[in-house]
Structure 1
Amino acid sequence: MGELTVKRTAIPGLLVLDLPLHGDARGWFKENWQREKMTALGLPDFGPVQNNVSFNPQVGVARGIHAEPWDKLVSVATGRVFGAWVDLRAGDSFGRVVTVELGPDTAVFVPRGVANCYQTLEPDTAYSYLVNDHWSPEAKASYTFVNLADPQLGIDWPIPLEQAEVSEADRNHPMLADVVPMAPRRTVIVGANGQLGRALRLLYPDAIALARPGFDLSRPDDLTRIRWADVETIINASAFTAVDAAETPEGRRTAWATNVEAVARLARIATEHRITLVQMSSDYVFDGTADLHTEDEPFSPLGVYGQTKAAGDAIVSTVPRHYIVRTSWVIGDGKNFVATMAMLADKGVRPTVVDDQYGRLTFTDDLARAIRHLVGTDAAYGVYNVTGDGPVQSWADIAADVYGLKGHDRAEVTPVSAQEYGRGKDLAPRPVHSALALDKIKATGFRPAAVDESLRTYVADLPIGS
């Protein structure tokens, strides 16, 4: 009977499964696809949506070599085949070949872009394959092929191809030297022109960058322009972040449309197409009564902005492959607190700055680096706090640091309470404590940059008076 095993091969991601056959005088039974057991042994949870069967009445039928834009689990229901797989993905393993003889007790998981073919060794062979995307003419246009007889592949066919049953199309596929490798699945950056979006584009130069005015996440039809089957990761760096405006009737509607309804659309797309969704979260999902916020702290938002971000987080948490990256006090390429303080210093202005709200700055290059680390290392899905590292400070402390870095006296910054600062202004409630615990992200091997070093570099690179 044997045991269910999953073994790696020389082609990355190509896995061979030994399937137990349960037999008696009546015949045999097998679990051809058993999600819980197989994924526990390392098979990707690839989400099959279609099952195809190819019946071959005679010995020597050869089919392939085809690479499709989806994953598949191939097996034999009856008979035996000689199977061969060729990696046609761009990369170091392009052109690598693996061969395996398959009977009912063997299956092979074939990742997207690895070409598949077989030759029947027994009559009346039924070859089955589960795939995780529906066939369509559009999908077929993405197929990649290589010639069965290419000597560079070195496939030792049990039955010479001149004696085999081969279609005319398969005989005329290109040689490996002429094959265009299948491109990897893409990364999509939503909100690509924002502070974080610009930092992400530097790390993902080949990403699909979506931004206003050409793309608006709140317009459902804009999402239909992307072929999501070719996307591996969505990074949502788009949000309505006008905290004070969110408290107005119009701002409230816009905040919910952008931070909740649009996020729900992305979540549905990510779930349907098995895409990893990265969602940016905020310290505003908390009321700020705790000195330090951990990832598992319950939501307790004070205002509309925090309420919409908390609702978006709850939706994204239902996506099977998700990272919720919670951050605070973001500083990047654009209008922000540090840039404003530096401009005021250059102009000789003596600002009044709140000194009883506490947290840490997060620089977008460090935040983008953390996102790439989580996705690139296949870290466990879930919520991660990401900010700069170092002591917790008030806004007034940071403003004084900026003035010092600009060559001014730190005393030019006048501290004031949030209550006094907000007197006579229509300001949304803000958490007193915004500092986020960093233990979880550090446990993945990522080390956030020190805030003081990042601040020094950032201020030095700012144009004078801007």
Structure 2
Amino acid sequence: MGPTFSKPLAARETPIPGVVLFDLPVHGDNRGWFKENWQRAKMTTAGLPDFGPVQNNISFNETAGTTRGIHAEPWDKFISVATGRVFGAWVDLREGPSFGAAFTAELDPSTAIFVPRGVGNAFQTLEDGTAYTYLVNDHWSADVQDQYVFLNLADETAAIPWPIPLTDAELSAKDRAHPRLAEVTPLVQRKTLVIGADGQLGRALRAALADHPSVEFAVRQDLDLLGELDSARPWAAYDTIINAAAYTAVDAAETPAGRAVAWAVNVTGVGALARVAGAHRLTLVHVSSDYVFDGSRDLHKEAEPFSPLGVYGQTKAAGDAIAAMVPRHYILRTSWVIGEGDNFVRTMAGLAGRGIKPRVVNDQVGRLTFTVDLADAILHLLATGAPYGTYNISSDGEPQSWADIAADVYALCGRDRNDVTGVSTEEYFAGKHAAPRPLQSTLDLTKLKATGFVPELSSERLKSYVESLRAPRTG
């Protein structure tokens, strides 16, 4: 029995999340047949994940009834048949709600299937001389032996309807001895590594991900070690790196010492992360800044060309360009970040509490970005599988000047808004060593909102934040 000829390339979903069955076009005549077993452009367009195969394996089976599996491995596979036919069976052995879900299908040269990491795979040959071929996207390593999961072919819960009874099939002793589903430890999710976990965003991510055992937090200094960690850390166990580390001392970056540190952290460090993410097919989440623009436009869209005014902005723009080279990347461009730690709002609330009447810049306009929204936006993009790329993120609402925001803080602290005096940037920094600053920092949120994420209004976030600062500490 030969393959079905001239089927159009098509993808079919299965009951197991991420497992996709494909119809492959096979072209034949009296001489035999030909097919494109792997064609990246066509197949990714049809729905195959761009999973980056690095190895092609073939299993030749002498006789019908040869049965292999059920094996779940720490990499993705794209499986097809070169000659003959197989009955394939797949069982989800990943940690999660679909654990134990099963799916079966017959494969011949006109059919293929994508099997993600952690889904158990098995097959039984239906013809003599069957060649079973598969692409994988990682090389075997002793570091990942503990990430293999096995299930007995005769498991009663999966209840695979083998065409040839297992009592009559050709099995290995190892496959006969694999455990039942009740005894299987599911393959855990890949890990997420958060770099810069001691900063304002890092602390927000700690709060949001505190109950997730698959998340690791690294303090900022670890950024310098990533070059050494590349060979030592088992990156096959990771899926995502969130880079919450940055050098943000805008004025100090204009000094010789500060310039060197800014480039080391914001550019060289990002390069190390990008190298790791690219080599191991990880998703890199990187946080950018409104300082990559000169502030000459009223509203900044994601595709606006870089035009930084100072060293800090130059390093952030360079870091963005590097991060964008990673195939799987999210760059979140922010403005005026407020979270747990030293920041403008905390400073203004402190001045209000001491009865000080400050002079605050009134010709720089933008929106605050509260780290709770920034952290939630990152997790939203990752969870929904939004298209990779750059997204603007700030709190929502009408743009304001720094002086407007300071007046709001004073009012929320029970002080008179008129205690805040607005001055121009030129007046404020007269006689001071300061970096140039963009006057217009308002970010267009249209692209982010199109993914289903709508940030909270800045006014509401500011009210809650100031109230938390004024609340008495306990413990």
The verdict on a shared fold, with TM-score over 0.5 as the criterion, is yes
Q: Which amino acid aligns with 1:449?
A: E
What is the CA deviation profile of residues 392-415 of structure 1, one whole-angstrom value per residue up to 9, with x for unaligned ones?
111111111111100011111222
For residues 122 and 378 of structure 2, the distance between their equivalents in structure 1, rounded to whole angstroms, comes to 37
Q: Give the alignment's Cα RMSD to 1 decimal.
A: 1.5
For residues 464 and 153 of structure 1, the distance between their equivalents in structure 2, rounded to whole angstroms, comes to 55
1:347/1:465 contact within 8 Å kept: no
Pair 1:417 & 2:427 matched: no
Pair 1:348 & 2:355 matched: yes
Partner of 2:117: 112
Partner of 2:42: 37
Partner of 2:346: 339
Which of 79, 98, 103 is matched with 2:108 structurally?
Answer: 103
Matched residue count? 465
What is the CA deviation profile of residues 430-453 of structure 1, one whole-angstrom value per residue up to 9, with x for unaligned ones?
111111111221222211111111
Partner of 2:77: 72
Partner of 2:320: 313
For residues 211 and 155 of structure 1, the distance between their equivalents in structure 2, rounded to whole angstroms, comes to 47
Pair 1:53 & 2:52 matched: no
What is the CA deviation profile of residues 193-217 of structure 1, one whole-angstrom value per residue up to 9, with x for unaligned ones?
111111112222321111145x234
Partner of 2:261: 254
SS of alignment partner, residue 223 of structure 2: coil
2:220/2:245 contact within 8 Å kept: no
Q: Percent identity?
A: 62
Partner of 2:469: 462
For residues 350 and 254 of structure 2, the distance between their equivalents in structure 1, rounded to whole angstroms, comes to 28
Which of 19, 22, 35 is matched with 1:17 structurally?
Answer: 22
For residues 237 and 419 of structure 2, the distance between their equivalents in structure 1, rounded to whole angstroms, comes to 54
For residues 464 and 132 of structure 2, the distance between their equivalents in structure 1, rounded to whole angstroms, comes to 61
SS of alignment partner, residue 161 of structure 1: coil
For residues 220 and 328 of structure 2, the distance between their equivalents in structure 1, rounded to whole angstroms, comes to 26
For residues 464 and 111 of structure 2, the distance between their equivalents in structure 1, rounded to whole angstroms, comes to 57
1:346/1:465 contact within 8 Å kept: no
2:286/2:330 contact within 8 Å kept: yes
Pair 1:386 & 2:396 matched: no
Q: CA deviation at 1:219?
A: 5.1
Matches within 5 A, 1:232-381: 232-381=239-388
What is the CA deviation profile of residues 345-370 of structure 1, one whole-angstrom value per residue up to 9, with x for unaligned ones?
11222222111211111100011111
SS of alignment partner, residue 371 of structure 1: helix
Unpaired runs of at least 5, structure 2: 1-5
Which of 179, 192, 209 is matched with 2:184 structurally?
Answer: 179
SS of alignment partner, residue 462 of structure 1: helix
For residues 439 and 272 of structure 2, the distance between their equivalents in structure 1, rounded to whole angstroms, comes to 33
What is the CA deviation profile of residues 140-180 of structure 1, one whole-angstrom value per residue up to 9, with x for unaligned ones?
33100010111221112122212222111111111000101
Partner of 1:139: 144
Partner of 1:443: 450
Task: Check 1:464–1:64 CA distance in 2 against 1; reply closer, same or farther (3 A cut).
Answer: closer
For residues 85 and 100 of structure 1, the distance between their equivalents in structure 2, rounded to whole angstroms, comes to 9
For residues 356 and 472 of structure 2, the distance between their equivalents in structure 1, rounded to whole angstroms, comes to 12
Q: CA deviation at 1:309?
A: 0.4
For residues 356 and 338 of structure 1, the distance between their equivalents in structure 2, rounded to whole angstroms, comes to 18
Partner of 2:217: 209
Task: Check 1:227–1:147 CA distance in 2 against 1; reply closer, same or farther (3 A cut).
Answer: same
1:218/1:257 contact within 8 Å kept: no
1:82/1:158 contact within 8 Å kept: yes
Q: Which amino acid aligns with 1:458?
A: Y
For residues 253 and 316 of structure 1, the distance between their equivalents in structure 2, rounded to whole angstroms, comes to 20
1:80/1:103 contact within 8 Å kept: yes
Q: CA deviation at 1:30?
A: 0.8
For residues 176 and 451 of structure 2, the distance between their equivalents in structure 1, rounded to whole angstroms, comes to 49
Shifted more, 216-225 versus 455-464: the winner is: 216-225
For residues 184 and 218 of structure 1, the distance between their equivalents in structure 2, rounded to whole angstroms, comes to 25
Task: Check 1:377–1:65 CA distance in 2 against 1; reply closer, same or farther (3 A cut).
Answer: same
For residues 206 and 12 of structure 2, the distance between their equivalents in structure 1, rounded to whole angstroms, comes to 37
Unpaired runs of at least 5, structure 1: none
Q: CA deviation at 1:224?
A: 4.3
Pair 1:90 & 2:98 matched: no
Q: CA deviation at 1:464?
A: 6.3
2:80/2:112 contact within 8 Å kept: yes
SS of alignment partner, residue 55 of structure 1: strand
Q: CA deviation at 1:234?
A: 1.5
Partner of 1:402: 409
For residues 73 and 299 of structure 2, the distance between their equivalents in structure 1, rounded to whole angstroms, comes to 48
Q: CA deviation at 1:463?
A: 4.2
Shifted more, 86-95 versus 326-335: the winner is: 86-95
Q: CA deviation at 1:218?
A: 5.7
